[in-house]
């Protein structure tokens, strides 16, 4: 039995976790279609039981639908306007440089993990991608918790990760470009929970497989079956399991299979001359996934540019679905204005935004381009292993957000009759 702990409050939300293992899983890039395809083929029997006996619905992710943005929202419970991470990447206009936001120093709100640890829970955070670890670990290791990535599992040491000899717990450090990178995360969580080393877990996978495979592909069906197996282990341990995603995933191709890219910087240079800087906040060290092509861009215009004329020109490009001023996008998408461009651009279900043809290595995408970042990757699965209370059921059916998931897993579980 987990000891009784005091409720804790983080960023204005109150969390009162039950005396059970609480696990939130973020399945990176898990469009609902992946679950549908695996369920239809009987490959996810544990999720099947949850869908019938607990809650399975949809939640709205955070725009832009990127990994860092949404993981940061999930672990803080607030939108980027508060936590500050509005992309994997932004252009620091003061410093004149493009900055990767892989570090907790960009985080403007605390995560809920240090407070959970201090309240008496044993917190463990496992992520596939090392790029997220620093954000997740913020304040947690000092408080006594655990945080490591499967990507750098063998490098984890007690002082900075709260754990060592991770490979003996969860197996050999996998390649980040594999399905095993994600399964390793879940297996690590199961082993830590089994061993009593953690009772409050966040497990965040990588979308390498989803970038590479459509929902019906045999490889990804096997992948989801392996996920389901680990979910089953968590359920057997008596855990409350919440499952969501940071974003969905869509084919961004023409019918002939070629990538459907709007090269914004080229288009703007041609019409308005040089000086435009297009920031693609999907950009990260894992370019094999997506070639830095997603459905969302920030545009910095040169001094003296006619912003309204530029916006109108962008709006008229095929594949573009939204064009906003910084101010409008910050309000609509709850983004931090000081880390945005002058114009925000979003593209459609089958289209991505690029800078110039020379900037992107399309050869890396020979197998086809599946990506995310826009509105058509905004609705994601929202699953809780238990019956919800009437109050939380009503919220789940309303405009629930993926970053409500920790609150649901902690507070939303109906007592069994």
Residues in touch with its own copies (CB under 8 A): 32-33, 36-37, 39-42, 48, 51-52, 55-58, 60, 214-216, 251, 253-255, 257, 315-316, 321-322, 328, 331-332, 348-350, 375-376, 379, 391, 394-395, 397-399
Q: What share of the chain is helix, strand, coil (3-state, %, to 5)?
A: 40, 20, 40
Extended strands (E) in 83-171: 89-92, 97-100, 123-127, 146-149
CB of 250 to its own copies, least distance (A): 8
DSSP state string for 308-333: HHHHHHHHTSTTEEEEEEHHHHHHHH
CB of 63 to its own copies, least distance (A): 11
Backbone angles phi, psi at 336, to 5 degrees: -80, 110
**Judged by CB, which is closer to its own copies: 356, or 391?**
391
CB of 390 to its own copies, least distance (A): 10
CA distance 250 to 71: 19
**Judged by CB, which is closer to its own copies: 40, or 158?**
40
The rounded Cα 9 to chain-centroid distance in angstroms is 23
Backbone angles phi, psi at 253, to 5 degrees: -135, 160
CA distance 347 to 296: 6
CB of 227 to its own copies, least distance (A): 17
CB of 399 to its own copies, least distance (A): 4
CA distance 297 to 87: 10
CA distance 40 to 33: 10
- How does DSSP classify residue 101? -
**Judged by CB, which is closer to its own copies: 104, or 343?**
343
**Judged by CB, which is closer to its own copies: 316, or 358?**
316
3-state secondary structure of 382: strand
CA distance 278 to 376: 21
Residue with tokens 């304040």: 139
CB of 19 to its own copies, least distance (A): 27
Q: Residue 95: which residues within 8 A CB-CB, separation 6 or more? A: none
**Judged by CB, which is closer to its own copies: 60, or 277?**
60
Residue with tokens 């902690």: 410
Residue with tokens 């890039």: 29
CB of 247 to its own copies, least distance (A): 14
**Judged by CB, which is closer to its own copies: 172, or 391?**
391
CB of 372 to its own copies, least distance (A): 14
Torsion of CA 114, 414, 387, 77, to 10 degrees: -30
Nearest CA to 240 out of 3, 25, 35, 73 is that of 25
H or E, element range at 347: strand 343-347
**Judged by CB, which is closer to its own copies: 41, or 236?**
41
**Judged by CB, which is closer to its own copies: 154, or 397?**
397
Give the pair of three-digit tokens for residue 178: 């594999």
**Judged by CB, which is closer to its own copies: 300, or 395?**
395
CB of 90 to its own copies, least distance (A): 24
CB of 40 to its own copies, least distance (A): 3
3-state secondary structure of 251: strand
**Judged by CB, which is closer to its own copies: 271, or 397?**
397
């Amino acid at each position: 039995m987990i000891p009784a702990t005091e409720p804790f409050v983080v960023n204005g939300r109150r969390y009162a976790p039950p005396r059970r293992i609480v696990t939130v899983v973020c399945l990176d890039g898990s469009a609902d279609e992946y679950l549908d395809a695996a369920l239809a083929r009987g490959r996810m029997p544990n999720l099947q039981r949850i869908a019938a006996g607990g809650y399975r619905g949809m939640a709205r992710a955070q725009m832009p639908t990127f990994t860092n943005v949404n993981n940061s929202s999930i672990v803080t419970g607030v939108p980027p306007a508060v936590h500050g991470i509005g992309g994997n990447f932004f252009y620091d206009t003061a410093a004149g440089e493009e900055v990767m936001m892989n570090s907790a120093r960009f985080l403007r709100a605390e995560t809920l993990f240090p407070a959970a640890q201090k309240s008496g829970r044993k917190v463990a955070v496992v992520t596939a991608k090392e790029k997220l670890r620093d954000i997740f670990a913020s304040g947690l290791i000092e408080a006594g918790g655990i945080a490591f990535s499967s990507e750098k599992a063998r490098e984890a040491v007690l002082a900075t990760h709260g754990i060592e000899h991770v490979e003996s717990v969860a197996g050999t450090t996998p390649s980040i470009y594999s399905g095993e990178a994600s399964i390793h995360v879940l297996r690590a969580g199961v082993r830590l929970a089994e061993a009593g080393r953690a009772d409050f877990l966040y497990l965040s996978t990588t979308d390498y497989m989803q970038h590479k495979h459509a929902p019906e592909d045999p490889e990804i069906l096997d992948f989801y079956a392996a996920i389901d197996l680990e979910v089953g282990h968590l359920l057997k341990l008596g855990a409350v399991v919440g499952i969501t995603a940071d974003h969905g995933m869509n084919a961004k191709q023409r019918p002939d299979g070629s990538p459907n890219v709007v090269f914004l910087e080229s288009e703007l240079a041609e019409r308005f001359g040089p000086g435009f800087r297009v920031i693609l906040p999907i950009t990260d060290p894992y370019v094999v996934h997506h070639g830095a092509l997603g459905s969302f861009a920030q545009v910095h215009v040169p001094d003296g540019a006619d912003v309204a004329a530029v916006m109108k020109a962008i709006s008229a490009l095929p594949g573009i679905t939204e064009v906003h001023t910084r101010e409008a996008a910050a309000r609509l998408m709850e983004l931090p204005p000081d880390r945005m461009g002058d114009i925000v651009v979003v593209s459609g279900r089958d289209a991505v935004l690029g800078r110039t043809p020379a900037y992107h290595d399309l050869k890396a995408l020979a197998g086809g381009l599946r990506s995310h970042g826009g509105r058509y990757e905004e609705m994601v699965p929202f699953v809780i292993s238990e019956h919800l209370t009437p109050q939380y059921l009503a919220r789940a059916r309303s405009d629930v957000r993926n970053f409500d998931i920790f609150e649901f897993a902690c507070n939303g579980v109906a007592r069994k009759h």
